[in-house]
Amino acid sequence: MGTMQTPIPADQLRIVPANEASWHDLATIFGSTDAGHCQCQRFKVVGWIWRDSTHEQRTTMLRAQTACGDPNAPSTSGLVAYADGEPVGWVAVEPRTEYPKLRTSRVPWAGRDEDKDDDAVWAVTCFVVRKGYRGRGLTYPLAAATIAFARERGARSLEAYPMITEPGREITWGETHVGTRQVFEEAGFTEVSHPFKRRVVMRVDFR
């Protein structure tokens, strides 16, 4: 992922629910990245993402899920970050039940006795940072912002399923679309399980 460049100062950053952002702004973020192919539907589509859905279908799904441009929408599927007015990042956060593919993934459930139908547990599933703004620490404030966002909308708990990054080991941006353990640790999440060598489940419980 390269070395960290100068982080974007907090006073230059604004993070809003996606329905308060324009579709053009979100498309600008996605259009500059490999995530533009997925359109944040990896955990949403039924079947195999590339075989059983088209790019046009996934784009339509994302637009409907985010309700971009509709500040009065009853729900949205994530947050959009702006730096000095430029759209620079996205994080997906919704009730865990909104991600059908999580039901069949081993990561969230290995060694845990969790109710898969509990819609009071929310999940952070994906980060996208606009090309040209990577390596500037944007996933940290985005992860932190998911906490208040989920809590204000009635979540009892918030989970994430990040990667463990190892010193000296080369990783690709695609691997860390789920975030890294350090990002969630700094946001205040606690590790609750370690299902695979390089994957952990992190969680915040709201009192």
> If you write DSSP's letter for every residue of 123-166 in order, what string do you get?
EEEEEEE-TTSTTSSTHHHHHHHHHHHHHHTT-SEEEE-PBPP-
Rounded mean pLDDT, 31-45: 85
Q: What is the pLDDT of residue 4?
A: 62
Task: Please state whether the predicted TM-score (pTM) of the whole model is above 0.85.
Answer: yes
Between CA 112 and CA 121 the distance in angstroms is 14
- CB count within 10 Å of CB 117 equals 9
**Percent over 70 (pLDDT), the chain:** 92
Domains and CATH numbers, the chain: 11-205 (3.40.630.30)
Rounded mean pLDDT, 164-168: 74
Given a cut of 50, whether residue 1 has pLDDT beyond it is no
192: left (phi over 0), alpha (psi -120 to 50) or beta: alpha
Between CA 74 and CA 126 the distance in angstroms is 21
Given a cut of 80, whether residue 2 has pLDDT beyond it is no
Encoding tokens for residue 56?
């046009």
Rounded mean pLDDT, 141-149: 98
Given a cut of 70, whether residue 87 has pLDDT beyond it is yes
Q: What is the pLDDT of residue 49?
A: 85
Rounded mean pLDDT, 91-117: 95
Between CA 24 and CA 26 the distance in angstroms is 6
Going by the DSSP 8-state scheme, the letter that residue 16 receives in this structure is E
Helix 55-66, helix 23-31: angle, nearest 10: 130
Mean pLDDT of the chain: 91
Output 198 or 162, whichever has higher pLDDT.
162
- CB count within 10 Å of CB 54 equals 9
Q: CA triplet 146, 170, 129: central angle to 5 degrees?
A: 30
Output 155 or 176, whichever has higher pLDDT.
155
Query: Three-state SS for 104?
Result: helix
User: Do residues 22 and 69 touch, judged by C-beta distance below 8 A?
Assistant: yes
pLDDT in tens, 48-79: 888 889 999 999 999 999 999 999 999 999 99
Which pLDDT band, with edges at 50, 70 and 90, does 23 fall under?
A: very high
Given a cut of 70, whether residue 152 has pLDDT beyond it is yes
